[in-house]
Chain A
Amino acid sequence: MELEADLELGEALAAGHVRALAELYDRYGQLAYSVALRVLGDPGRAEDAVQDAFLKLWHSADRYDARRGSLRSWVVTAVRNRSIDYLRGRGAHERREREIPLDAEAQGEGSDPWNEVVTAMERQVVREALTCLPPEQRQAVELAYFAGYSHREIAEMIRVPLSTVKGRMRLALEKMHSYLQGRGLPL
């Protein structure tokens, strides 16, 4: 059902129907803005980042493939990337190729589990999953995802070997996955 809904909306976007863009924004605009604000900490810049991201999606809608990932993931990835660009002082043209792979979530085992409305309970559980991580693992995840640092930059910043940073990231995601699965969230 989610795949069909995303497919339909994606096709309407690619056909240039502004109504589809409005629907995309109405579905995910708040999440997008929340992510941008979390990354940038500045409401004005967060607005700019969200606008940039939605317009990028609007202009590249013909490249969206619902079978490779959800619309939600597509929006969040675009907004997160644009926000990181703003944060790191990069123009869009400087962006290195670093899309979070959509196909990672869609290889035969269903798509983005967070596709639809997120309940307060689900939000709480995800927060708990992060909070339960050892501080150094959580730090590695947050510096990468919400601040846009590479593993190399993180290693230099906190003065640990590169392999340690990679290990912390993996352990953090493994633990988060287990925690979420253990609480029955859709994984």
Chain B
Amino acid sequence: MAQPENLLYSKEHEWVSLDGDSATIGITDYAQSALGDIVYVELPKVGSSIKQFSTVGVIESVKAVSDLFTPLSGEIVEVNSALENDPAAVNREPYGAGWLLKIRVADPAEAKALLSPTEYDKIVHASH
């Protein structure tokens, strides 16, 4: 399964779409599939500052509680509040309507620690 090309990835199965100093963050198709039916998403407050690779929220499926990590440091500009009533959007459209956070990136150089689509694809295949 090829990974979407225009995104960067973390080992924790988050994706980032970078546009200047603003970034949109979600979890990958592989992650949503591994979690199963998602029933609850807990996201940080708008305005709070988050640090790269730290825990910033929680994603819960019927059976499991999983931490959400941020792939980049920055300030939360927006969270996807539609997920409060429709958490299953993360399952249906992990790269679209199921996005999680938008942040103002603190240090663009941090992106060097993230993975290309090809690199992430190797991780996904290694975990099969």
A and B assemble together: no
Binding site for A on B (CB under 8 A): none
